[in-house]
Structure 1
Amino acid sequence: MLVSMKDMLQHALRDGYAVGQFNINNLEWVGAVLSTAQQCRSPVILGVSGGTVKHMLGLKCIHDIVVNAMEYLHIDVPVALHLDHGTSREACEAAIAAGFSSIMFDGSHLPFRENLAITRHLVTLAHSKGISVEAELGTIAGSEDGIVNSEVIYADPQECYTLVTETQVDCLAAALGSTHGPV
């Protein structure tokens, strides 16, 4: 059974351990990550990027692969299925409809107020279904899904506070100096 990333992370915080997120890219990765999490008795977050959605035939197909793999492999550790860096309201809504247990809305490319408004809408929709929401502020350097970004825009701490308090988002990815992939 898929679980909310929020519940998983709250348990980890309370009990003093970390939870890994591993982006899955194909069926073999799904099996390998799930089997390893089960063997280690560790909760796990399966991240799904926009590129993976294209390669694995869509969000519903990915959801069904993960759920069927969990059943086939007898996975009983907590698993969150997370849309990683959903860059539009529509992509996040589609992940919610497909049965994902967690979404990330990456509105870092938008003006702050627009990011806040879309995040608020997605939080309301997702929370009504028990789904966790992560938001993003600022941009980081590096590459992911073939997109290279050399510009760093650090998140503004006041905007971080405002976004979290006004939207009740579950997690915040604030660009404070980290990178994606090779720089």
Structure 2
Amino acid sequence: MTASLPFRLARAAVFAVVCVALGVLAHLFGGGSVAGPVMAGGLLLAFGAAAVASGRERPLAVILPLLAGLQVVLHVLFSLSHTPAVHAGLGHAHAGLAPSAGMLVAHAGATGLIALWLARGEAALWGLLHRLAARLCQVLLVVLPQPVHEPVAVVTAPEPGRLRSVVLAHSAPRRGPPFTQVFAFSS
């Protein structure tokens, strides 16, 4: 089953919001900052990528690489858009395009969990839609009036008579050997 345009756009929007929220939270947690216009650009980028892939149900094998690729692109976009800042709670500087090992682990773990979450939600959503469609068909079959079939009179032609030749018309059909009389004489 393929999705209609409003449904595709809604699914792409959910994917884009989750993807960008993951990237922004990872950067804020890692000590970086994300400007509003850059975040909006990342949202449009993620929405465009998700809209292309949202035509039908996608398994984890499709969602995970798409989400991971977008996380890399968003990381580069967010890293290029801000100046290095020191996060007081973590005590390290987030600088440039090269992520630290902690950031890679955080991105990979969050990407894996969110991809699994999105794939399970995707499967649940499509299962629900299939069940709703089947239920709707059942209801429509019960509610819609059934056509009334009136009995149709069947006219049959009379059977043709037996055809006999004129010569045999007055003969009596007999089967078997000729009848012979056996007389028993007693002495």
Identify the TM-score tier after normalising by the shorter chain.
Answer: under 0.3
Structure with the bigger percentage of strand: 1
TM-score, normalised to structure 1, is 0.21
Structure with the bigger percentage of helix: 2
Larger RCO, structure (CA 8 Å, separation 6 or more): 2
